[in-house]
A and B are shown apart, each in its own frame.
Chain A
Amino acid sequence: MLLIHCPYCDETLPELEFTYAGEAHIDRPENPSEQSDAEWESFLFLRENVKGPHFERWRHFHGCGRYFNAVRNTITDKFYITYKAGEARPDLSALLEDEK
């Protein structure tokens, strides 16, 4: 079983308490009505589908209830980092450097 660190609870807990919530850092447009159909399609449906380190959202569903962000390797399932929603996207190259 994966162990995931919740940045709100500050505890590392079994994945059973968490739910996956898709790609992270997708901002809702400030003015939706000004979006073209193509832009709206991109916002709603188009995702990176990364093979490797992926910025994604998780929710501590059976715990504090909070959504947060994570960088997880989609091949190995390793979590490099988790951080609170709203915080800036961490520097990926620095994270991967730490792994070496």
Chain B
Amino acid sequence: MSIAISSLTPSTIAETSAAKVVSLPMQGRLSLRARDGLDKLGAALGLSLPQKIGQCARADGIEAVCLGPDEWTLLLPLDQVATVTEALAALMPELPHALTDISGREVTFRIEGTRAAELLTIGCARDLSGVAPGEARRTLFDVATVVLWHDGENAFRMDVWNSFAPFIAQTLEVGCKELAAEAA
């Protein structure tokens, strides 16, 4: 049986001695694609767009991560989505880019606790020691493409597409319980 998740009702998925997994409230998410004029786009956002894949920038409630050579995801409060959309639209047509509102597409899990990184290894083949705190990466968790944010020691966030969220939540819940049972 999989867990029913609504991104509108944040809840605790699992909490054990190993880690705590929580689904976070709905938030604004924008996908930005652009090749040129990154300084102007960044200025309109109030931050400097990172250009190395996996690097993040934060300012004014906005978190930006560089996911590809011409791709960024912006996380921001829902009530800032319209403002940011307008600010970037004002740069058209001189500065061609694509900004897409993907707020409804994903849900974010917060994963924290002494064994948070170990919990992620049940679905992630990547060596997470290569993702420094403050950075993020798009990667594969079990069957789903996710964006993993390394917020600090033993603290991560995982952005998951809605359709995968119930399965990923259940996988994390089982992992949380098994790690705790092992330790007992």
Contact = CB atoms under 8 A, between A and B. Distances in A.
B125 A9 contact: no
Contact of A11 (B67, B69, B71, B130): B130
B146 to A, nearest CB: 8
Interface in B121-151: 125-126, 130, 137-140, 145
A13 interface: yes
B68 A1 contact: no
A14 B130 CA distance: 12
B67 A64 contact: yes
Interface in B77-116: none
Contacts of A13: 126
Contacts of B175: none
A14 B137 CA distance: 13
Contacts, number: 40
A63 interface: yes
Nearest to B138: A63
Contacts of A17: 125-126, 139-140
Main secondary structure of the interface of A (DSSP, over half): loop
Interface residues of A, number: 15
B147 to A, nearest CB: 10
A13 B138 CA distance: 12
B53 A64 contact: yes
Interface residues of B, number: 14
Contacts of B130: 11
Contacts of A29: none
Nearest to A61: B145
Contacts of A62: 138-140, 145
B154 to A, nearest CB: 23
Query: Which interface residue of A13, A64, A66 has the most chain B CB atoms within 10 A?
Result: A64
Contact of B138 (A1, A14, A16, A64): A64
Contacts of A63: 53, 68, 137-139
B125 A65 contact: no
A64 B69 CA distance: 7
